[in-house]
Structure 1
Amino acid sequence: MHFTILGSGAMGYRYGVLLQEAGNKVEFVDAWRPNVEKVRQQGGVYVSRDHHGRHLVPIKMFYPEDYVGHPDVWIVFDKQMQLADLLKRTQQSFDGQQYVLSCMNGMGHIEKLLQYFEPAKIIAGTALVATVLNGPGDVDFIGARGAGTMNLANYTEKPDKMTAQIVTELKKARFNPTLTTNFMGTLLAKVVFNSVVNTLCTLFEITMGEFASYPKADALSVRLIDEAYDVCERAGIQMLNTRQEELASVNYVSKVANPLHYPSMYQDMSHNRPTEVDYINGYLVKLGRQYHYEATTHAFLTHLVHLAEHTRHQKVSY
């Protein structure tokens, strides 16, 4: 199959490189100039795994306006606040036959994708896999080959032949995909996970393992999970996991799968980039208010992340 990665950061590189290694044609599109220029200068992207084995993987990368390819499937990984502009800049290569898959963090991307793709051709999901962008053209895959899992679902909740082909290629690339027919439940599972781990690790500048080692970590997780599930129940969303299963997922990923990993929100904060907290904890707050429920803990954490951002920006400006 022909895949094009739209948004070639940490996760975009991981999906693109592994799908390319699995025998697919893969091209990369990105709007971050240092990244594009570095890849062109090097002739590819440097890939490590758990900080070892750094090697150059040849890839083709384009700026959005320059790309004229027409892939079978777009794989979209970008920050929520940048996606609208990236889609607009790339729209010359969209056509009515293409499918799009996105496993972005947070919520807000589906509405943007619907402006360019037919509902029946949108697939979205979640990826429980850790990856670090060391810098332009340099990425580190965290975890052993085949580590991590992903869930995905069709927007229409009606899988078709093309969906099956996409899942097959994801399996070949060892992403361990599980296809569901619960679109919102699939997406919200990762939102809830991130609303706990990403946010708390970012605020205290700690790894997932350091968070999990705190004796009262479960109490913090349960408070946030319960509040999020209260929101989703009021919205009529059937979650993939029970509350206890969601807690178990938080603990497994934090203690076993990726204990040394700093979540993506921390990576943004530490580089003085805007975080996606409004699309994670903030999304749960807004969704709750639609159903007359105040997710007070998530609202408080959203404010704390913005306070941390504000404080860091103030220090940088001095």
Structure 2
Amino acid sequence: MKYAVLGSGAMGLRLGVLLQEAGFDVDFVDTWEKQVETIRSQRGVYVSRDGQHKRLVPVNVYYPEEYNGQADVLIVFTKQYMLADLLERCAHFFNDKQYALTCMNGMGHIEKLNQYFPSDRVIGGTAMIGTVLNQAGDVDFIGQKGAGSVNLANQTEQPDEMTHQIISDFKTAGLNPTLTDNFTGTLMAKVVFNSVVNTLCTMFKVRMGEFIQAPTTRALSVQLIDEAYDVCERAGIKLLTSRQEEWQQVVTVSQTGNPLHFPSMYQDLSNGRETEVDYINGYIYDLGKKYNYEASTHNFLRNLVHLTEFTDKFDVNGFINQVLEDDKASEQKAAAVSQ
């Protein structure tokens, strides 16, 4: 089976490289010029694991406009706010037999995919896999080989032969897939997880292993989990785990799964990119409002992240230097007046 990864950032590269190294035919499609040109110039992508054993993996990468491959499955992995443009630029090579599979963060992407693919050819899911894009053409797989897992579900909640083939391929690639029959619950489970770990790690700029050690982490996490579960109950969404199990997943993934990992939201913030907080905490809050429920902690965190996005644009050192220069000039002026 042939795969094409649309959006070759950190997670797109990880899934695609693992499938390619398992023997499957994989192409990569991306709109980021620096990524495409770097990979082409170095004839592949550099891959390391936990910052060690860097190696060059040859890959085929294309801009959307030049790609005409006949992929059976399109793995869609980009930022929520970039998806509409990516799909529009790729639409010329879509056909009525392809399946679209996505494990993107947040919510809002399925509606966009359904503009091009019917529900019986859409597979949604979540990936508990830590990956860091160090720079263009250089990706770091966090965790030991075989670490992490993927939950997948058909949008129709009726798995077919193609779905089972994809699950088999993902197992061969060491992605540890699980097939569920709860589409929305599967997607929302990761939204809840990210609304805790991604957002709090980003706000305080810590790795997951550092975050889980803080004395206040449990109280903050449980408060966010409870609000999210209250929203889902009102919306009629049955999640895959109980509230206690969701908290335990936060503990397990942070302590043993990806303790060295900076979540993707932190990576976006630190690189001056827009975060996806509106599609995570913001989505939970907005969904709650539809059912007259105020998930106020999620809304508060969403606004704090946006404030951090704004304040991080300032050059703090430059600002301090300017203040010192202004103070020195004022002192000199005062001295001149006194003389």
TM-score, with structure 2 as normaliser: 0.93
Shift of 1:118: 1.3
User: Where does residue 199 of structure 2 map in the other structure?
Assistant: 199
TM-score, with structure 1 as normaliser: 0.99
1:298 partner letter: H
Shift of 1:210: 1.1
2:125 partner letter: G
**Contact 2:3/2:74 (<8 A) preserved:** yes
**Contact 1:96/1:118 (<8 A) preserved:** no
Shift of 1:70: 1.6
Shift of 1:312: 1.2
Which structure has the larger Rg over C-alpha atoms?
A: 2
Partners in 2 of 1:133 and 1:261 — Cα distance? 12
User: Where does residue 182 of structure 1 map in the other structure?
Assistant: 182
User: Where does residue 98 of structure 1 map in the other structure?
Assistant: 98
The 5 A counterparts of 1:52-71 are: 52-71=52-71
1:283-311 Cα shifts (integer Å, max 9, x gaps)? 00110011111100000000000000011
Partners in 2 of 1:41 and 1:283 — Cα distance? 40
Secondary structure of the residue aligned to 2:212 is: helix
Runs of 4+ in 1 over 4 A off after TM superposition: none
1:291 aligns with 2:291: yes
User: Where does residue 156 of structure 1 map in the other structure?
Assistant: 156
1:118-144 Cα shifts (integer Å, max 9, x gaps)? 110000100001000011111010111
Q: Please list every run of 5 or more consecutive structure 1 residues that lacks an aligned counterpart in the other structure.
A: none
User: Where does residue 232 of structure 2 map in the other structure?
Assistant: 232
1:183-208 Cα shifts (integer Å, max 9, x gaps)? 00000000000000000000001111
Q: Over the residues paired in the alignment, what is the CA RMSD in angstroms?
A: 1.0
User: Where does residue 249 of structure 1 map in the other structure?
Assistant: 249
**Contact 2:142/2:260 (<8 A) preserved:** no
Partners in 2 of 1:47 and 1:93 — Cα distance? 28
2:226 partner letter: D
**Contact 1:14/1:131 (<8 A) preserved:** yes
Secondary structure of the residue aligned to 2:306 is: helix
Q: Please list every run of 5 or more consecutive structure 2 residues that lacks an aligned counterpart in the other structure.
A: 320-339
Secondary structure of the residue aligned to 2:209 is: helix
Shift of 1:209: 1.1
Shift of 1:313: 2.0
User: Where does residue 119 of structure 1 map in the other structure?
Assistant: 119
Shift of 1:314: 3.8
Partners in 2 of 1:303 and 1:181 — Cα distance? 34
Partners in 2 of 1:270 and 1:136 — Cα distance? 15
2:158 partner letter: K
User: Where does residue 30 of structure 1 map in the other structure?
Assistant: 30
1:73 aligns with 2:67: no
